[in-house]
């Protein structure tokens, strides 16, 4: 895979890099966070957990 650069954006280093090994395969994932945001990673994870919890509650009642 090649790195594509946007002409209207300066190149920058990733905010996080995760490397996962599965047998002979290595997956490298680079993450970028919105610059200038006020939400923390913990705030975002809390929103994800709340959304998953709400979906779980709706499906549990349907059973």
**What integer pLDDT is reported at residue 29 of this predicted model?**
92
The pLDDT assigned to 35 comes to 84
Instruction: Measure the CA–CA gap between 25 and 46, rounded to whole angstroms.
Output: 32
Predicted pLDDT of residue 15: 87
Q: What residues pair up with 25 in beta bridges, in sequence order?
A: 22
Mean pLDDT across 13-23: 92
What whole-number distance in Å separates Cα of residue 38 and Cα of residue 45?
Answer: 14
Q: Taking the model in full, what pTM does it have?
A: 0.43
Task: List pLDDT tens digits, range 21-58.
Answer: 999 999 999 988 888 889 888 998 999 999 999 887 66
């Amino acid at each position: 895979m090649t790195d594509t650069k946007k002409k209207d954006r300066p190149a920058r280093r990733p905010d996080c890099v995760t490397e996962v090994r599965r047998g002979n395969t290595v997956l490298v994932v680079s993450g970028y966070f919105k610059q200038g945001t006020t939400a923390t990673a913990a705030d975002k994870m809390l929103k994800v957990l709340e959304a998953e919890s709400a979906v779980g509650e709706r499906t549990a009642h349907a059973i």
